[in-house]
């Protein structure tokens, strides 16, 4: 049950965030063994002055066009799976939106299964 937050600068075309969400979902299905229809995403646009982006951290040259993707998911994926996910997302965004790979920032937050409630006030995975 991944929960995805996507944050980007305001002013993108209307379907930009929708396409980012599709790329992320497809990458999770391909690389992280996420089941079909397990798609929960929140997308937000922000004024440029509300996104603080270091232009050269770790030697990566970023622009103000950076997109932030945070995925909360069950713990247990291997480093290889995570690397494949990062690459698949960056490549997919580059191919479909001409997004610079340097401007794709991804963070994974791993949690235990009992930390989810899908509704009804129940812990379905506990």
Q: What's residue 87's pLDDT?
A: 98
Residue 72 has a CB neighbour count (10 Å cut-off) of 17
Please name the CATH architecture into which domain 3-115 falls.
2-Layer Sandwich (3.30)
Q: What's residue 1's pLDDT?
A: 77
Q: What's residue 108's pLDDT?
A: 98
CA 20 to chain centre: 8
Per-position pLDDT tens, the chain of length 126: 799 999 999 999 989 999 999 999 999 999 999 999 999 999 999 999 999 999 999 999 999 999 999 999 999 999 999 999 999 999 999 999 999 999 999 999 999 989 988 899 998 888
By the 10 Å C-beta count (0-12 exposed, 13-18 middle, 19+ buried), 61 is classed as exposed
Q: What's residue 106's pLDDT?
A: 98
Q: What's residue 116's pLDDT?
A: 87
Residue 72 is encoded by which pair of tokens?
A: 């909360």
> Do the beta carbons of residue 1 and residue 73 sit within 8 Å?
yes
On whether the pTM is more than 0.95, the answer is no
Q: Please say if 35 is a catalytic residue.
A: no
């Amino acid at each position: 049950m991944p929960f995805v937050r996507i944050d980007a600068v305001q002013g993108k075309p209307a379907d930009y965030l929708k396409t980012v969400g599709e790329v992320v979902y497809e990458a999770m299905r391909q690389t992280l063994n996420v089941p079909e229809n397990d798609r929960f995403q929140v997308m937000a646009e922000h004024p440029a002055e509300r996104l603080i982006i270091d232009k050269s951290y770790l030697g990566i040259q970023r622009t103000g066009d950076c997109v932030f993707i945070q995925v909360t998911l069950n713990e247990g994926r291997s480093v290889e799976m995570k690397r494949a996910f990062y690459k698949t997302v960056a490549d997919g965004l580059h191919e479909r939106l001409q997004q610079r790979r340097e401007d794709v920032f991804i963070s994974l937050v791993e949690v235990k299964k009992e930390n989810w409630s899908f509704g009804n006030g129940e812990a379905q995975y506990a």
